[in-house]
């Protein structure tokens, strides 16, 4: 058994009561595998639905630092999660560029003024994080105060390509017909949008770090819809640029970065080479296989199929064990789902998952 002193020697200088997430992201020793869940605050929680109803809409909720703080903390009050994630959305950035974000019930996000031509692109500029996006950094500061050092706060942003999908399509898309036409027929125009997005996201994430985010994550939800060659050129290249321009340290603490591309199976080596500290995996890739490929360079986050949460407690425990065993012994694993929790999930199932991760992984991870 390692002595407590051993944990202290490799201290990340962050003064957290529970710093297992930061340690795992930096592949340092932990007493168990930390766990948090994408979309841990959201519609599967009745208390979230109540607060959202009071706020009037999702956007009103996200734009109020006090209410964003309240819903960020809701899952932590129920479950022994090892991290909080800022309650916000990736689409705050294009909204701040003036594209007019709104939500249609049951259909997801839409933009009033999608980017379809050079004239529209010429009109947009990176938003000032201390101006129109001030509500986000205010929420980060308020959440940090409320957490009082209990667990770390993760900040986040969308990848330039994933943001561009919504900005060009004007909303969710099944086939990405409009953005892919632009990609193949007017690649220079799409590159201009991606360059703007990369600059915006870099400033935005650095502002979150300066406001108190203790780790940051880039969500590349739609990178996996691209061809092999297009992924490198239109998604990964811009993620790489952001990672190289992020603050790696703030206030004496290392700020780890996580890159999550859904459907990234064949790309994990290249993602690890961006300089990120951790790679987020969806459930289509074997955790142990991924560790063999890149586990000596980065931490791994994931990757339980969110659909498992619709099963019985015994099945959930067995599936949690499979992911933990697949990673194997040692540090560098952050347990998560392979994508966000779906709204039909029962909160009791999340309880089973979180407790199972802690119980089944309780051993020094060196
Ligand atoms: O993880 C968390 O708890 C933090 C909050 C968070 C939200 N969105 C809140 C949200 C995070 C990290 C996001 C990221 C996000 N937003 C992504 C990337 C991650 C992913 O899931 O792939 C994407 C693609 C978006 C864009 C977006 N925002 C969509 C497609 C939708 C509708 C989705 C749906 O489930 O209806 C949103 C709205 C949204 N963002 C909700 C939440 C809790 C639901 C809003 C509601 O209350 O109606």
Q: List the chain pLDDT tens, one digit each, 366 residues.
A: 343 434 443 445 678 999 999 999 999 999 999 999 999 999 999 999 999 999 999 999 999 999 999 999 999 999 999 999 999 999 999 999 999 999 988 889 999 999 999 999 999 999 999 999 999 999 999 999 999 999 999 999 999 999 999 999 999 999 999 999 999 999 999 999 999 999 999 999 999 999 999 999 999 999 999 999 999 999 999 999 999 999 999 999 999 999 999 998 899 999 999 999 999 999 999 999 999 999 999 999 999 999 999 999 999 999 999 999 999 999 999 999 999 999 999 999 999 999 999 999 998 898
Nearest-CA residue for atom 42 of ligand 1: 42
Relative to the CA of 48, which ligand 1 atom is closest?
47
* pLDDT at residue 107, rounded to an integer: 86
Taking each helix axis as running N to C, give the angle between helix 347-360 and helix 313-327, from 0 to 180 degrees, rounded to the nearest 10: 40
* pLDDT at residue 19, rounded to an integer: 97
Nearest to 84 by CA among 238, 199, 231, 215: 215
**SS3 assignment, position 329:** coil
Nearest-CA residue for atom 40 of ligand 1: 89
β-strands 253-254, 249-250: how paired?
Answer: antiparallel
What is the token pair recorded at 99? Answer: 């594209």
CA of 363 to the centre of ligand 1 (A): 34
Nearest-CA residue for atom 17 of ligand 1: 90
CA distance 318 to 325: 10
CA of 11 to the centre of ligand 1 (A): 33
Relative to the CA of 72, which ligand 1 atom is closest?
3
CA distance 47 to 151: 21
CA distance 208 to 33: 26
* pLDDT at residue 13, rounded to an integer: 65
Relative to the CA of 91, which ligand 1 atom is closest?
26
CA of 140 to the centre of ligand 1 (A): 17
Q: Which fold has domain 4-365?
A: TIM Barrel (3.20.20)
Nearest-CA residue for atom 32 of ligand 1: 108
Counting ligand 1 atoms within 8 A of each CB, the residue from 40, 42, 174 with the most, and so the one to mutate, is 42
**Beta strand segments in the chain, E:** 84-85, 101-104, 108-111, 153-158, 215-220, 249-250, 253-254, 257-261, 278-280, 299-304, 333-337
**Beta strand segments in 130-214, E:** 153-158
CA of 71 to the centre of ligand 1 (A): 13
CA of 165 to the centre of ligand 1 (A): 15
Nearest-CA residue for atom 7 of ligand 1: 89
Pocket, ligand 1, Cβ cutoff 6 A? 38-43, 52, 58, 85, 87, 89-91, 108-109, 156, 172, 219, 221, 340
CA angle (342, 345, 350) in 5-degree steps: 110
* pLDDT at residue 264, rounded to an integer: 87
Counting ligand 1 atoms within 8 A of each CB, the residue from 78, 90, 136 with the most, and so the one to mutate, is 90
CA of 39 to the centre of ligand 1 (A): 7
Q: How many residues does the chain have?
A: 366
CB distance 43 to 49 below 8 Å? yes
Nearest-CA residue for atom 30 of ligand 1: 108
Nearest-CA residue for atom 23 of ligand 1: 90
Relative to the CA of 37, which ligand 1 atom is closest?
1
DSSP string covering 224-279: GGS-HHHIIIIIIHHHHHHHHHS-SEETTEE--EEEEETT-GGGHHHHHTTT-SEE
- Predicted TM-score of the model (pTM): 0.96
CA of 117 to the centre of ligand 1 (A): 27
Catalytic residues: 39, 43, 52, 89, 166
């Amino acid at each position: 058994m390692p002595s407590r002193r051993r944990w202290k020697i490799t201290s990340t200088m962050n003064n957290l009561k529970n710093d297992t997430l930061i340690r795992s992201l930096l592949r340092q020793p932990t007493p168990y595998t930390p766990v948090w869940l994408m979309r841990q605050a959201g519609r599967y929680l009745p208390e979230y639905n109540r607060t959202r109803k009071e706020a009037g809409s999702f956007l009103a909720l996200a734009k109020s630092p006090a209410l964003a703080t309240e819903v960020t903390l809701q899952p932590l009050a129920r479950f022994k999660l090892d991290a909080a994630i800022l309650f916000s959305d990736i689409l705050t950035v294009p909204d701040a560029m003036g594209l007019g974000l709104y939500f249609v019930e049951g259909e997801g996000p839409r933009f009033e003024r999608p980017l379809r031509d050079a004239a529209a692109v010429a009109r947009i500029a990176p938003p000032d994080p201390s101006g129109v996006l001030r509500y986000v950094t205010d929420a980060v500061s308020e959440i940090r105060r409320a957490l009082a050092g209990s667990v770390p706060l993760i900040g986040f942003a969308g990848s330039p390509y994933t943001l561009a999908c919504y900005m060009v399509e004007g909303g969710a898309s099944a086939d990405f017909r409009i953005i892919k036409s632009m990609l193949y027929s007017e690649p220079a125009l799409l590159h201009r949008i991606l360059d703007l997005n990369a600059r915006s996201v870099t400033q935005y994430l650095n502002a979150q770090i300066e406001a108190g985010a203790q780790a940051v994550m880039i969500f590349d939800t739609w990178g996996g819809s691209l061809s092999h060659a297009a992924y490198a050129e239109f998604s990964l290249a811009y993620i790489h640029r952001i990672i190289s321009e992020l603050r790696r340290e703030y206030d004496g603490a290392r700020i780890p970065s996580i890159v999550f591309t859904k459907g990234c199976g064949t790309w994990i080596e290249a993602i690890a080479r961006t300089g990120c500290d951790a790679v987020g995996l969806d459930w289509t890739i074997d955790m142990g296989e991924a560790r063999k490929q890149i586990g000596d360079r980065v931490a791994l986050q994931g990757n339980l199929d969110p659909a498992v949460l619709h099963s019985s407690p015994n099945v959930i425990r067995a599936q949690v064990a499979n992911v933990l065993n697949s990673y194997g012994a040692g540090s560098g694993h952050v347990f998560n789902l392979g994508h966000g929790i779906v709204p039909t999930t029962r909160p009791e199932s999340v309880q089973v998952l979180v407790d199972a991760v802690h119980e089944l992984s309780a051993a020094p991870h060196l």
